[in-house]
Amino acid sequence: MKIALAGPGAMGLLFGGYLSQKHEVTLIGRNQERMERIRTEGVRIREADGAERIFHPYATAEPGQVTEADLVLLFVKAGDSRAALESVRHLLDAGALLMTLQNGAGHEQVLSQYAARERILIGTTNQGSYRLDEVSVCHSGLGDTFVGAVSGDAERFAPVAEAFRECGFPCELSSQVKGMIWNKLMINASSSVLSGILQMPQGYVAENEAAWSMARKLIREICAVASADGYPFSAEEQIERIRKHLQNAPGGYTSVYADLKAGRRTEVSVINGAVVENGRRLGVETPAHELIVELVHAMEGRNCHG
């Protein structure tokens, strides 16, 4: 399979590296010097046990060089999706499938402006990765990847799931992938975003009474919106699940934490913002999430001063 991967960040390098074992993978980035380093040095992936492997996908900062693709895999941050999709429009116009494993929800609304809905896959993954340097990542989390169709039967995408599995990523097709995205949003839009705002590891959210009170409010609002969307969740069960997750991995840091610390834009608009937008669509009030979105954007705005 010919795969064009837009967004060679931590997750893009992880997936691009492993998929290149059996497939023709091209990483598409914006930094010419970094893409040249990847071509020369390869992608180095360090496993949790310290073992390292080097993979050799092709890399380019010139999307026009990529003339064919069976699959376009989107790993850019949500705010960069349109620019990335514009750069590979020629591949999508030629019939390539379009797939996203980005954080948050609602990405299909943007993707469907660039590809027919029946050619779009959306998904969620429990794999984890963080950057060590420009060409190296640490494979920090193992877990399943679930993908589904935006329109029609997901079974027609079986070759994509098989391509992931044969390269070491457990991957299943699901008719309930939107429910799984809601499930992942439970943590991302509650404890993860609070960890970022507070600039503390995730365990602090469960340990601090005031922080945990805010997390519970956020979780209850997510459950209310998800249930109205046809994916019922028990708020109390989710609160307990997330509390245990935080207690088991108290030292974890999140992408919102890293982005705010580094002065970058966050993905709050497709995380908590997705809860707000769906709440408005479904008639469910989400005041806690509205406050979080405004607060994070206000924190991002600090980078424009000084």
pLDDT for residue 66: 97
pTM for the whole structure = 0.86
Are residues 154 and 173 in contact, defined by beta-carbon separation less than 8 angstroms? Answer: yes
The model's confidence at residue 140, banded by pLDDT at 50, 70 and 90, is confident
pLDDT for residue 305: 56
Residues in the chain: 306
* 208-257 per-position pLDDT tens digit: 999 999 999 999 999 999 999 999 999 999 999 999 989 988 887 888 99
SS3 126: coil
- How far is the C-alpha of 3 from the C-alpha of 96, rounded, in Å? 9
Tell me what percent of the residues of the chain surpass a pLDDT of 70: 99
Task: Specify the higher pLDDT residue, 261 or 48.
Answer: 261
pLDDT for residue 269: 94
The model's confidence at residue 304, banded by pLDDT at 50, 70 and 90, is low
- Sign of the torsion angle spanned by Cα atoms 283, 288, 292, 298: positive
* 152-174 per-position pLDDT tens digit: 889 999 999 999 999 999 999 99
Cα angle, residue 30 at apex, residues 24 and 33 outer, rounded to 5°: 90
- Can you count the helices (H) and strands (E) in the chain? 14, 12
User: What are the structure tokens assigned to 176, written together?
Assistant: 């309930």
The model's confidence at residue 287, banded by pLDDT at 50, 70 and 90, is very high
Per-residue pLDDT for 92 more than 60?
yes
Contacts of 115 (CB under 8 A, 6+ apart): 92, 96, 97, 98
User: CA nearest 4: which of 66, 87, 95, 86?
Assistant: 66
Residue 92 parent element (H or E): helix 89-93
User: CA nearest 226: which of 266, 190, 192, 255?
Assistant: 190
**Pairing mode, if any, of strands 2-6 and 24-28?**
parallel
| 182-197 average pLDDT score | 94
pLDDT for residue 243: 95
SS3 69: coil
Contacts of 256 (CB under 8 A, 6+ apart): 192, 193, 195, 196, 197, 266, 267, 268, 271, 296
The model's confidence at residue 101, banded by pLDDT at 50, 70 and 90, is very high
Domains in the chain: ranges and CATH: 2-175 (3.40.50.720), 178-304 (1.10.1040.10)
Per-residue pLDDT for 127 more than 60?
yes
User: What are the structure tokens assigned to 106, written together?
Assistant: 């609602």
Per-residue pLDDT for 103 more than 90?
no
Contacts of 270 (CB under 8 A, 6+ apart): 78, 102, 103, 104, 105, 106, 107
Tell me what percent of the residues of the chain surpass a pLDDT of 90: 84
